[in-house]
Structure 1
Amino acid sequence: MADVNTIRTGAGSRTAAIDAGLRAHMSKVYGTMSVGMLITFAAAWAISGLAVTSDPAAASAQLREGQYLTSLGYAIYASPLKWVIMFAPLAFVFGLSAAINKMSAATAQLVFYAFALVMGLSISSIFLVYTGFSIIQIFLVTSIAFAGLSLWGYTTKKDISAWGSFLIMGVIGLIIASIVSIFFPNPALTFAISAIGVLIFAGLTAYDTQRIKTDYIAHAQHGDTEWLGKAAIMGALSLYLNFINMFMFLLQLLGNRE
């Protein structure tokens, strides 16, 4: 007959191992996401010629004189390449999601970083539209909100998995409304899209954090390190996209324009 204390000790050891592994897994997710964010904003900053000065008067002079892009930025925005840069992030997301099972974890990580670089080029126009102080301010607000939402999603005992289908439908609705606003511009519609977008991606931040946690717990006992490595990359991608979208919608709502 198995000793009860032995069984309890074994169960406790497995639980402790899973907890330690979960912490390491989440650290990998947040670490990968953070590196991706640094790459994105470094790329966006480098494209804008306004990045070379912090003097508002000098920045205004640059705008008046058309000196608001670096040579690389000009090469992108003054050519059809801008359309490639605009839609490339979407192709990366679909490509990485479809091919993740055929990639190694190391390859998936490199693709994610390449995606972060292209995303930086894609959103670089924010430095031409909004003031630098406004961008930094909204970035800090987004960071605080994201941290709080992700922490809640990780620690809450409430099962929020039912939010998934509702939030995905909300994202689809946002995409449709955004396309409509391109052809039929309307300030009220733009405001509504931005406000609803913030709420949807705030919800997705909590939802995805809990999903990453529960997926790890469900698979950790199998010891599939390759799967766990890829899962960390895909988790980082999900949270990264939530952060970027929440930041962009908040910038549209609260940002001060040049």
Structure 2
Amino acid sequence: MFLPAIHAETDTAVLLQFIRENPLGIVITGIQSSQLDFLQCSHVPFVLDLPDESGGAGPLGRLRGHIAKQNPQVKAIIEAVDNKPPNVLELDDDVLVLFNGKHDHYVTPKFYVETKPDTGKVVPTWNYSAVQIYGKMSLRYDSKSPETDAFLAKQLHDLSEHTERSILGYTGGDKPQPWKVNDAPDRYIELMKRNIVGIEIRINKIEGKFKMSQEKPPGDRDGVVKGFARLGTEAGEAISALVQSRGEMHDRKKQEMKERE
């Protein structure tokens, strides 16, 4: 990921919260295979464990998820790992996981009300937010193992709890009750677990960016804020708010640096 300082987010707590709010990650691996493509990716909804929440987490936490046994990425991992232990396979090389923000948008030069009328030296761009992690991935593939069964049971429970409550807002009371794994027949859940593998990724590095027009002069930024707000769409309103907040944050940091000089 290209990380200009003006767009980079360096607060680890902010980046981890971003993952919790946007749990669908894209897992990317590069594995030499005799039959499969070198580059593989899978979309995986993740549960995030912080270091103080699990002794097995990496220095920045751990991601837990599951993917289908028939996924070619799983087959490539199994093929790549020699001397397989009874239950857990671990890749030697890091994997990359990318998380994208809920909203991104094309930015028209018409929004730049300061620079466009003055010089015309403006071009389109795209505003977006993203976080990426690097880490060591382990694969739990033996569905008959009690350890794998326990891992999958906990992961499925934790994932449904997070997505039902935090994503959909199903918290009970005046709102609908969340769906729970045990709402489905036990036999059906056991059958489903036989067809998936558990994955966990110990996070060793995390990076993120909010590309939200921070580099533009205040007049242009104000034009972007108002331009997106005028669209009258959910995405437009969300990007408008992000451009506003990220611009104010940039200005505060810039002022603090001047005061320290």
TM-score by length of 2: 0.24
The structure whose residues are more often helix, as a share, is 1
The structure whose residues are more often strand, as a share, is 2
Greater relative contact order (CA < 8 Å, ≥ 6 in sequence): 1
TM-score by length of 1: 0.24
